[in-house]
Chains A and B, each alone.
Chain A
Amino acid sequence: QVLLQQWGAGLLKPSETLSLTCAVSGESFSGYFWTWIRQSPGKGLEWIGEVNHNGATYYNPSLKSRVTMSVDTSNNHFSLKLTSMTAADTATYYCARGLISGTTWNYYYYLDVWGKGTTVTVSS
């Protein structure tokens, strides 16, 4: 059974950097997309970005200038950093596994396993 365990600071001040880590257990790290999703209070889901086992990343264009994702394959971890946090970044942040469907040249992924979420509040 695949489990995602996430952790990181839950209370930040404006301008600080969010750092979250997600540990993958029970499955190989390769062959998937590893993603971060957030949900502001009472709002919908927002994709932050993805990283694969090779460290290739792709970010939401609206957050791209502030986001860095990375992988640590030796420990089956992947991480998120989001700089210059503001109150608008207050949200629950989820890590999730992207399971690929399709062919080599025409594919997408869906999110079949999720972490429990980390509530992040930005306040002075």
Chain B
Amino acid sequence: EIVLTQSPATLSLSPGERATLSCRASQSVGSFLAWYQQKPGQVPRLLIYDASNRATGIPARFSGSGSGTDFTLTISSLEPEDFAVYYCQQRGNSLTFGGGTKVEIK
């Protein structure tokens, strides 16, 4: 099973600041990685697929990068609605999620 480790667990930032979230895989997944956003009480929403492609309707301030074992989700300038939990996901021989990064208001 491929383990995804997300860091940091919590990121405390102010609106307008840049957020950089990390996801590290225990073995290479190529570019086969997705990112999701989940707000309290809501269903997870797909943000990024194939490591760097924005899903339909996702604002340009969200970007993904990386390949192999190291991936980054960047939010260029935090909007109030971006404070949420973010998960990465792969599906190698089985599907796994990272433990999540909570982006909270500082």
Contact = CB atoms under 8 A, between A and B. Distances in A.
Interface in B29-59: 29-30, 32, 34, 36, 38, 43-46, 49-50, 55
B32 A60 contact: no
Residue of B46, B49, B89, B95 ringed by the most chain A CB atoms within 10 A: B95
Interface stretch (B11-19, B67-75, B96-104): B96-104
Interface in A69-86: none
B89 A111 contact: yes
A108 B43 contact: no
A46 B34 CA distance: 15
Residue of A108, A109, A112 ringed by the most chain B CB atoms within 10 A: A108
B94 A58 contact: yes
Interface residues on B, range: 20 to 34
Interface of B: 1, 29-30, 32, 34, 36, 38, 43-46, 49-50, 55, 87, 89-92, 94-100
A60 B94 contact: yes
Given A44-B97, A45-B97, A102-B32, A111 B50 contact: no
Contacts of A112: 46, 49, 55
B44 A111 contact: yes
6 contacts: A44-B100, A58-B94, A101-B32, A110-B49, A111-B44, A112-B55
Given A111-B44, A111-B89, A117-B43, A101 B97 contact: no
A35 interface: yes
A117 B44 CA distance: 10
Interface in A43-65: 44-47, 50, 58, 60-61
